[in-house]
Amino acid sequence: IGKLWGGRFVGAVDPITEKFNASITYDRQLWKVDVQGSKAYSRGLEKAGLLTKAEMDQILHGLDEVAEEWAQGTFKLNPNDEDIHTANERRLKELVGETAGKLHAGRSRDDQVVTDLRLRLRRTCPMLSGLSGSSSGPWWIGQRRNVMSSSQGTPTCRGPNPSAGATGF
């Protein structure tokens, strides 16, 4: 699998640019939710009639193998793996062949990113709220109006409810 964005460019990419654009060092912690999302999506494709039961089973088995390699620490990253999606897709294709390509029918890269991050937040947010004993955070958050700056010249008030944006998850 080549670079997702590389089709319209000619010549080599500067190694510094390659390193800057690669997110796999962060994305690798999303392997479990990426596999989980891909498994759910393959089941949906089978229900929609876009995959046969045999193709779905082949993909699910391949994704189980990918997950096992990550869990055992034996998953081998390739220098062309830009992110967790390309890494898992490449490995799935190595394991099950061309059937792996059907997993992306009607599914964009953005769909994968949003699904992975949402699944990750569903797991992480309860752990974080559990630290304070309630889902709304410690009682003292928001009692004082702390003025902070997220960037120069833009003061922001923290409070009264900094967890309000997390309720959608």
Enter the pTM of the model: 0.66
Region 120-129: mean pLDDT is: 78
Residue 30 lies in a domain: yes
| Mean pLDDT, all residues of the chain | 78
CA gap 127, 99 in Å, rounded: 37
Angle, helices 84-96 vs 53-72, to 10°: value is: 120
Q: How far is CA 138 from CA 121, 124, 130, 167, in A?
A: 19, 17, 10, 16
User: Would you state the pLDDT for residue 134?
Assistant: 53
CATH of the domain at 118: 1.10.275.10
Residue of 34, 46, 37, 36 lying closest to 99 (CA atoms): 46
User: Would you state the pLDDT for residue 5?
Assistant: 53
The domain tally of the chain equals: 1
- Kindly report the number of other CB atoms within 10 A of residue 156's CB atom: 10
| Residue 148, token pair as written in the block | 């902070």
User: Would you state the pLDDT for residue 3?
Assistant: 54
Residue of 51, 31, 30, 28 lying closest to 41 (CA atoms): 51
Residue 154 lies in a domain: no
Residue 149 lies in a domain: no
Indicate whether 9 pLDDT > 50.
Answer: yes
Indicate whether 108 pLDDT > 70.
Answer: yes
Residue 153 lies in a domain: no
CA gap 104, 115 in Å, rounded: 14
Residue 142 lies in a domain: no
User: Would you state the pLDDT for residue 107?
Assistant: 86
Residue 90 lies in a domain: yes
Question: In which domain, by residue range, is 13 found?
Answer: 6-129
pLDDT per residue as tens digits for the range 59-103: 999 999 999 999 999 999 987 888 899 899 999 999 999 999 999
Residue 152 lies in a domain: no
Residue 138 lies in a domain: no
